[in-house]
Amino acid sequence: MENMINKQVEAFQVSAFCKGEFLDVTQEDLKGHWSVLFFYPADFTFVCPTELGDLADYYEEFKEEGCEIYSVSEDTHFVHKAWADASDTIKKIQYVMLGDPAGVLAKQFGVLVEELGQAQRGTFILNPKGEVKAYEIHDMGIGRNAEELLRKLRAAKFVEEHGDQVCPAKWQPGEETLSPSLDLVGML
């Protein structure tokens, strides 16, 4: 499978459902801010509403990071609406639910299982230029964690802003002084 890191989102246009409304979404809507594309197999399943509900609970924190969330399944936007009408968990979702019945997005991101017409549980973090900076793909039954996704988003933003030559400050008060090491003298 193709490595997706730094892959640029390609052109697409899909219909979506968001807060009771239908709308069209293209690749341009994913630019100018951080985005998460959150693929899941199908509406009206059991693991999916748990994951989507978990994500909905963290949505405000993603917004505070300047990130928009787009859930994606191979259902139509009409099915998303029907699911929201039928499920309290889905009804509370504030983010955009993309309908991808033709599999355009799932194919583009390599998560389409063609014989099922469903997407694997793929999560893609895109920077404001529409480039993939982090992703994970789970097999159907393996759920994801919105808190961990938020941590990854923050890390991706930090690296984009400051570069990757930074370490977490994990010292403890009262720690012993480390033995010196002269591993940079080769630069002299």
Partner 1 sequence: MINIEKISLRSELITEELESQLNTVLGKLTGEVCMVCVINPEEKASMEMAELVRHMAGLSDKLSCRFYDQAEAEKELPELDASLLPVTALYKNDRYTGVAYHGVTGGKEMNSLVFGIYNTAGPGQEISGRIQKKLQKLEDKVDIRVFVSLSCHHCAQQVITCQKMASESEMIEARMIDARLYPELAEQYHIERIPMTIVNEKEVLMGTKTIEEMYQVIKKCKK
CA triple 52-3-54, angle to 5 deg: 10
Nearer to partner 1, 3 or 172 (CB): 172
Least distance (Å) between residue 104 CB and partner 1:
38
Is 171 one of the binding residues for partner 1 (CB under 8 A)?
A: yes
Give, in order, the Cα–Cα distances in Å from 188 to each of 108, 122, 179, 183, 185.
Answer: 49, 47, 21, 11, 5
Q: Does 153 bind partner 1 (CB under 8 A)?
A: no
- In the window 19-48, what residues touch partner 1 (CB under 8 A)? none
Contact range with partner 1 by CB under 8 A, out of 64-72, 75-83, 122-130, 164-172: 164-172
Query: What are the backbone angles phi and psi of residue 80, rounded to the nearest 5°?
Result: -55, -45
By CB under 8 A, is residue 177 in contact with partner 1? Answer: yes
Binding part of the chain for partner 1, among 58-66, 79-87, 95-103, 178-186 by CB under 8 A, reads: 178-186
d(CA 65, CA 53) in angstroms, rounded, equals 19
Binding to partner 1 by CB under 8 A, coded x per residue (else -) over 104-143, reads: ----------------------------------------
Encoded amino acid at 98, one letter: L
Alpha-carbon span 123 to 126, nearest angstrom: 10
Contact between 178 and partner 1 per CB under 8 A:
yes
Catalytic residues: 48
Q: Which residue has the tokens 């999560």?
A: 123
Residue entry with tokens 């801010």? 33
Q: Considering only CA atoms, which of 43, 141, 140, 132 is closest in space to residue 91?
A: 43
Instruction: Tell me: does residue 175 bind partner 1 (CB under 8 A).
Output: yes
**Whether the Cβ atoms of residue 108 and residue 84 lie closer than 8 Å to each other:** no
Question: In the bound complex, what is the minimum distance in angstroms from residue 186's beta carbon to partner 1?
Answer: 10
Q: Which residue type occupies 79? A: V
Q: Which residues bind partner 1 (CB under 8 A)?
A: 158, 161-173, 175, 177-185, 187-188
